[in-house]
Amino acid sequence: MCKDLQDQTPEVFSLEKVGKAYPTSYEESMNTVLFQECVRYNALLADMKIMLTQVQRALLGEVVMSEDLEKMADSVFDNLVPPSWAKKGFLSLKPLSSWIIDCNDRINFLLNWIKDGTPNVYWLSGFFFP
């Protein structure tokens, strides 16, 4: 289950590329919003990648199963969002299987914004803190 979640987890944003493509300016205040969203999601995505890798290694006996890793493994098994992700992530009451889909949709919204330019319509509830 952790391997499947790891495969679904997107890569972190390149903040340097986002900052160059969408510089912070008074005329385009939504560039600041985009950059801040990328920073917030990077913290979550980095934690997800690290924890999912560590849990898999702990289950194989390659590293010691810490209390945090055990909570993570239990949460994944119970289809709950792990506590460290809930703490760093966006507010949601969804189970883990729906939460990861929602997370990917949010990331895809930002990726499309970066790739295609400033959108005409914003998904307000897709922002970290709408």
Q: What's the whole-model pTM score?
A: 0.87
Q: State the pLDDT at residue 27.
A: 84
Among 93, 74, 91, residue whose Cα is nearest residue 82: 74
Among 108, 109, 83, 82, residue whose Cα is nearest residue 96: 82
- Domain of residue 21: give its range: 2-126
Give the CATH number, domain containing residue 118: 1.20.1270
Measured in Å, how far apart are the chain's first and last C-alpha atoms? 30
Query: How many domains does the chain contain in total?
Result: 1
Among 69, 49, 48, residue whose Cα is nearest residue 60: 69
Question: For the segment 38-77, what is each residue's pLDDT rounded down to a tens digit?
Answer: 999 999 999 999 999 999 999 899 999 999 999 999 999 9
Phi, psi at residue 38, to the nearest 5°?
-65, -40
Q: State the pLDDT at residue 129.
A: 72
